[in-house]
Amino acid sequence: MAFGVKFISRNIGLDLGTANVVVYLDGQGIVLREPCMVAVRADSRRHVLAVGEDAKAMLGRTPDNIVAVRPVIDGVIADFDSTQLMVKYLLHKANGFAVPIMRPRVVVCVPYGITPVERRAVIESVRGAGARSVHLVVEPMAAAIGAGLDIEGAQGSMVVDIGGGTSEMAVLSMNGVVTACSVRCAGQKMDEAIINYIKNEYNLLIGERTAEEVKLGIGSAIQIRRRETAMVRGRDLITGLPNTVEISNEEITEALHEPLTTIMNGVRTCLENTPPELASDIMNKGIYLTGGGSLLGGMDLLIANQTGMPVILAENPMDCVAQGAGILAGNLERLRRITEEAEDWK
């Protein structure tokens, strides 16, 4: 093998999420997970200064001439150029920065129900980033495959994927989506709800990153007996000076009430639209939870309590979508069976 040239898997599964980009190399598994973020010069957006983790570290800390942007908003490409540059960089990084021998086939996941124009933008940006061919698969389908569910048979399966921007619920059977629902409410709305709560209750303005840290630290979807607290630092809106307050888990659960209600309404709508035979399969098999938001403490219990269904948190929920896409990328036959169906969902 020549110097600097490395074997690149010819098949890649790419989860271009609102919060994170996850790359799965066929034969290797998940090789990369980075925040879906780029830092660019404000005057020339094509000048990328940092991608992923490095860009996220700059969030809320950049001088005026540098901005950290999320190129994907609610699962849809909001900034074409920076998405393309980010994907190019991350595919390169996934390959250990070696010169690829051949261009990969990439299976990319897209939210259920995006428009043909939005689908085209994903295809063009990934192709522009160096892919030989690009195939789209809807997220709930990839999530189910990644979670190890059998969706080929006539049995119904249900997945709820709670990501950064959107929560997607779907009932799948025979390689197709029977019913699905997507709400623009997930992890980021939870962070916003925490920011608003602390602003209203304590006159303290905190940043997005801090809000997320509090959520990961002491956030819970349901009230739990054990009391936990976190020290939260921000800017006092009255004095204008930095200040710290102590927040409890009960308060965070209260703050999360609204976004969680929105997500639960989506789950309920999806179940209401499910044919009875499939509903009974789901009652037996349980609802599978994927996506980073499903890691919120007690999320599985909340859904189980409110639906009366068994709920199973998938293994490695943040990787399921990329894993499902990667499995399909390595199995053309199966990919074809699924994407043929997919064309009808547009």
Chain residues in the site for Mg ion (CB under 5 A): 17, 163, 321
104 binds, among Mg ion, ligand ADP, none (CB under 5 to 8 A by kind): none
| In the complex, minimum distance from the CB of residue 16 to Mg ion, in angstroms, rounded to a whole number | 9
Residue placing its CB nearer to ligand ADP in the complex, 103 or 184 = 184
| In the complex, minimum distance from the CB of residue 334 to ligand ADP, in angstroms, rounded to a whole number | 22
B/e letters for 99-122, b = 16+ CB within 10 Å, e = fewer, are: ebeeebbbbbbbbbbbeeeebebb
Residue 295 as a binder of ligand ADP (CB under 6 A): the answer is yes
Q: Are 30 and 322 in contact (CB under 8 A)?
A: yes
Residue placing its CB nearer to ligand ADP in the complex, 156 or 259 = 259
Binding mask 1-30 for ligand ADP (x = CB under 6 A): ----------------xxxx----------
Residue placing its CB nearer to Mg ion in the complex, 163 or 266 = 163
Beta strands in the chain (DSSP E): 5-6, 11-16, 20-25, 29-35, 38-41, 48-51, 66-69, 72-73, 76-77, 99-100, 105-110, 133-138, 157-162, 167-173, 176-183, 204-205, 229-236, 242-248, 287-290, 311-313
| In the complex, minimum distance from the CB of residue 20 to ligand ADP, in angstroms, rounded to a whole number | 4
| In the complex, minimum distance from the CB of residue 209 to Mg ion, in angstroms, rounded to a whole number | 20
Residue 163 as a binder of ligand ADP (CB under 6 A): the answer is yes
What is the three-class DSSP state of 65? coil
Residue 164 as a binder of ligand ADP (CB under 6 A): the answer is yes
CA 61: distance to chain centroid?
A: 24
Q: Return d(Cα 71, Cα 34) in angstroms, integer.
A: 13
Helix then strand then coil, % of the chain, to nearest 5: 40, 30, 30
Residue 215 as a binder of ligand ADP (CB under 6 A): the answer is yes
Q: Which stretch, 95-103, 130-138, 210-218, 241-249, contacts ligand ADP (CB under 6 A)?
A: 210-218
165 binds, among Mg ion, ligand ADP, none (CB under 5 to 8 A by kind): ligand ADP
Residue 187 as a binder of ligand ADP (CB under 6 A): the answer is yes
Residues 6+ apart with CB under 8 A from 153: 173, 174
19 binds, among ligand ADP, Mg ion, none (CB under 5 to 8 A by kind): ligand ADP
In the 8-state DSSP scheme, what is residue 237?
T
- CA-nearest of 194, 313, 202 to 259 is 194
138 binds, among ligand ADP, Mg ion, none (CB under 5 to 8 A by kind): none
Chain residues in the site for ligand ADP (CB under 6 A): 17-20, 36, 163-165, 187-188, 212, 215-216, 219, 291-293, 295-296, 318
